[in-house]
A = this chain, B = another copy of it.
Amino acid sequence: MSKYSSMSTYMLKSELERLNMEFETVKSQSYALNMARGKPSGQQLDLSMPMLDIVNSKSDFYSEGGIDCRNYGELSGIPEAKTLMADLVDDDPDNVIVYGSSSLAIMYDTVARLWIFGARGYTPWSQLPSVKWICPVPGYDRHFGICDTFGIEMIPVPLREDGPDMDVIEELCANDDSIKGIWCVPKYSNPTGITYSDEVVDRLAGMKAAGDFRIFWDNAYAVHHLYDNPEDQDQLKGIADACIAAGNPDRYYKFASTSKITFSGAGLAVYASSPANVSEMLKRISARTIGYDKLNQLRHARFLVNGEGIAEIMKDHAAILRPRFEAVQKALNKGGLADCGCTWTNPRGGYFVSFDGPKGTAKRIVSLCKEAGVILTKAGATWPHGEDPNDSNIRIAPSFPPLGELKAAMKIFVLCAHIACVEVELAGRE
């Protein structure tokens, strides 16, 4: 219920006039602020600069196993990089492939492989009359983009506080063998920041579904806590254990990367799955490449060392990100948007805050912000095909702008949200 709904039309119009005058003032200040993408700030990237000195012309360039990291080979990664990345995805190094620098690319390639070759003995998806996919919403636009590219039909399912709505998913998957996958960002989800409950993990692992149904477990924010105290951190049940226990040991593919641990453009990405899936994957990718960049693997392994090393640097990231996230909460709270029918999440980790305005306001808010010099993620991006049926959800990405700019941007955001709320209320009365 919005405070604006209890105001007279006359009052509303004069409120809008006042807000619009404020908006004109803001516009005249020619801001150029960007909160569009979940990019780390320069400050965060600085944390990993020492990594660039670790492998140099004077250092040795051999991995543990005596492998010359400058030369060809080692398709699944050098041993120390596999150990490091296994820590990141909480798995065994033998179940891990260190695969380039982009986890998105691994996901795309994995879909492409299933599309062309099928999953170990199953019909290639390209030969099926239709392929469908469970898409928890709001979700990550680039996940949906992969489905779009392949012409996979996306079925939106509500993402709740504890994960996607499992009642809906179980019902869908039990009755439709053409549903072949689900996108999951199970911890500090993009964009709501929620973490799947143990029950959701178990139900995903154990539910009835097609034999080649696959859980795409994009644990992009596995270690991306905002608070150092373990009690203030979300915990996620392991999908591998859950799938093994449920008798579906090959149902999951894990993905992660160091894109938001070291360098977004030059990190390490990882794939982990069951021994059967890993061996299938290695067979397939051996036709594609002789190996990934092992010097970068060596850099990462020497810099981060293991899970503890990762946890250490993540504390430094948190120290930079925490004030930004808190500034967003403060701006939204102080801005009085809760009284206008707006809601938003207050995550304990990850990269985003998910904001919902009243129905029909998201596009307008994003467009007003743009007019005032603040670039947000496109409204609708969190839904398949970029179409949010309620036109209410906006993803706020506080990581990239310096704190001062973020505060300025959030002030503008709040103003634009008020304008859109008033406008939609007025439009409803016509």
Contacts and interface: CB of A to CB of B under 8 A. Distances in A.
A156 interface: no
A149 interface: yes
Interface residues of A, number: 54
Contact of A266 (B59, B112, B148, B295): B295
Given A55-B52, A57-B53, A284-B149, A295 B116 contact: no
A429 interface: no
Nearest to A269: B289
A293 B42 CA distance: 17
Interface stretch (A69-77, A80-88, A244-252): A69-77
A49 interface: yes
Given A57-B53, A72-B39, A264-B71, A104 B295 contact: no
A292 interface: yes
B288 A265 contact: no
Name which of A70, A142, A150, A287 has the most chain B CB atoms within 10 A of its CB: A70
Nearest to A112: B112
A71 B45 contact: yes
A287 B146 contact: yes
A294 B259 CA distance: 13
A119 B235 CA distance: 46
Interface in A46-68: 48-50, 52-53, 55-57, 59, 68
Contacts of A189: none
A37 B290 CA distance: 11
Interface in A85-144: 100-102, 104-105, 108-109, 112, 115-116, 126, 142
A296 B104 CA distance: 19
A102 B72 CA distance: 10
A336 to B, nearest CB: 34
B72 A265 contact: yes
A289 B115 contact: no
Contacts of A221: none
Contacts of A115: 116
A289 B115 CA distance: 18
A40 B290 CA distance: 14
A360 interface: no
A390 B105 CA distance: 42
A216 interface: no
Nearest to A126: B126
Contact of A288 (B42, B49, B74, B109): B109
A42 B71 CA distance: 8
A341 interface: no
A71 B105 contact: no
Given A56-B53, A104-B290, A108-B289, A264 B72 contact: yes
A147 to B, nearest CB: 10
A264 B291 CA distance: 9
A370 B14 CA distance: 90
9 contacts: A42-B68, A50-B57, A52-B55, A52-B56, A56-B56, A100-B100, A116-B116, A142-B287, A265-B291
Given A42-B71, A53-B57, A69-B266, 16 more contacts: A39-B72, A42-B68, A45-B70, A45-B71, A49-B57, A53-B56, A70-B266, A71-B264, A72-B264, A101-B292, A102-B292, A116-B126, A126-B126, A146-B287, A148-B287, A266-B295
